[in-house]
Amino acid sequence: GRKPALEKTQRRERHRANPSELTMMKYVAFALNALAFLFVLVCLGGANADIGWSKMTRKINNCDYTINAGLLSVKSWSSCTKGVATTTIYDCDSCTNNQVFGSACNDCDSSGKGVLSMTVFAFVLMLVILGLQGTRFVGKAWGKMMMASLCFANAFLFFLMWTIWVGGCDKKIQDTADGWDKNVDAGWAFAFLGFLLAAGAGVIELLCMPSGGGEGVDYTQPYSQQNDENKAAV
């Protein structure tokens, strides 16, 4: 038992002294999660319809009308009234009484609140993931299954975000807003891309071994404690 313990300690110390031993795959996993985190921020920007999750456009009397459906409100403006936009929250009479968008307000309200909850959870989880992955650059190692599970959990949150929206608010818009060009917009697209990035990071975590560690390492203990225990075993 002494020789394997010594080898584990030596591997950990080599990794700590040479951060460049981090594999390229783990740099890629960190980069994917960092990019997914930026996408979460973009998705949060869609709460007040500044970044739309669905968009409706139509030309009427030489004026281009645009309606952005966000997570909590809808924003509309016209090319003929530049600089003037109207923002209306879904949960109010002025939304439900709107001739164009009124029938979709209730569906968009419930879908938007559900998506916003998932987005907040994803934001918090991304902070945890990036924090744990960042500690690798100072020699800390974490079990690959734990990191992969966190990444896949994050991917699942992204999955819920874009599926809840497209199956709720966007579907209602597609079914009711006759005469308008209707498409999912940037918020939905970033949620879908975030899903792909988070899932990709999870796959990478499964493919590569924990940095600087090996089988039998207790990744829940601090590095110094593991080092002392391994030295005691020698």
Q: Report, as an integer, the average pLDDT of 130-139.
A: 80
Angstrom CA distances, 114 to 19, 152, 158, stand at 41, 20, 12
Domain ranges of the chain: 1-21+211-234, 23-210
pLDDT category, 229, cuts 50, 70, 90? Answer: very low
Looking only at the bridges linking them, the beta strands covering 63-69 and 85-89 are unpaired
Q: What is the side-by-side order of every strand in the sheet holding 54-60?
A: 85-89, 73-78, 63-69, 54-60, 181-184
pLDDT-above-70 percentage for the chain: 76
CATH of domain 23-210: 1.20.140
Most confident of 21-35, 84-98, 146-160: 146-160
Look at residue 6 in the predicted model and tell me its pLDDT. 63
Q: Report, as an integer, the average pLDDT of 14-19.
A: 51
Q: Which residue has the higher pLDDT, 18 or 213?
A: 18
> What tokens does 165 get?
């929206």
Full-model pTM? 0.76
pLDDT-above-90 percentage for the chain: 48
Q: Report, as an integer, the average pLDDT of 70-78.
A: 92
Classify each residue of 36-67 as buried b or exposed e, where b means 16 or more C-beta atoms within 10 Å of its C-beta: bbebbebbbbbbbbebbbbbbebeeeeeebbb
> What tokens does 112 get?
């938007």
Non-local CB neighbours of 93 within 8 Å, separated by 6+ positions: none
Angstrom CA distances, 8 to 21, 217, 219, 221, stand at 15, 8, 12, 14
Reply yes or no on whether the pLDDT at 181 is more than 90.
Answer: yes
Reply yes or no on whether the pLDDT at 64 is more than 70.
Answer: yes
Bridge partners of residue 37, in order along the sequence: none
